[in-house]
Amino acid sequence: SENFIFPGLATMQPLEVRAGKMKFSDGMLRPDDRRGLLRLFVSPDDQLTHLTWTSRVNNVTEDDRILFPGDAEFSYIEAARANISNKRVYALKFTGSTERLYFWMQEPDGTKDTAFTESANAKIAPEAPAAMDTSDSAVAGVDVAQMDQSQLLSMLTNAGGAAPATPGAAAAPAPAAPAATPAVATLPAGLAGVNTANLAAILAGIGSGGAGGA
């Protein structure tokens, strides 16, 4: 059977940075002094994204995690800035749990820390939600501009609200109604984001543009 490949991952160039592991001991985060290599790549065996840590002393891979987009995020540990002996500490934070994998960077050039972090997050971190279109004509997927006058009036009538007067039309006197608790008119979902001024302008445009000679 064919494996599903996330877009952009099949052709992803392997990312790697020299880094050591860190472990909690006696309530403190302590570095593993061994030299190591952290790699993010798509395995040719299963076409999945792997994050591995390999010892550069004996070339043995000790950690191998499969990651899907949105599973985790690689970030700098701000508390490490105050650490005189080791300020370049990063963590792989899993979004679905409290698990963390900690690493201390071993590259002579510290700028590679940021480069690896940004490139790795572009592949594995959760994507930011798309901005919602809140324009009047896009509310609930209804294109108000494409509706005719009768449709607009019908929607307003069904909602229990009063439609603004169309230019040129005489206003009929409203019959007297018994006193009652005023009801709040609720627009249908398709017009929930349309304010009165915009709706009046739409109806006015329809009224003036559709007036023809009979």
- Which position has the higher pLDDT, 48 or 193? 48
pLDDT in tens, 23-50: 988 888 899 999 999 999 999 999 999 9
Residue 211: pLDDT above 50?
Answer: no
pLDDT in tens, 57-109: 999 999 999 999 999 999 999 989 888 888 999 999 999 899 999 999 999 99
pLDDT in tens, 116-174: 999 999 988 766 555 545 454 444 444 555 555 666 666 555 555 444 454 554 545 55
How confident is the model at residue 9, as a pLDDT?
46
How many CA atoms, within 13 angstroms, populate the side-chain half-sphere of residue 94? 12
- Ranges of H-type helices in 1-148: 111-124
Taking residue 91's Cβ as centre, other Cβ atoms within 10 Å add up to: 19
How confident is the model at residue 213, as a pLDDT?
46
| C-alpha of 54 from chain center | 33
Query: Which amino acid does the sequence have at 85?
Result: S
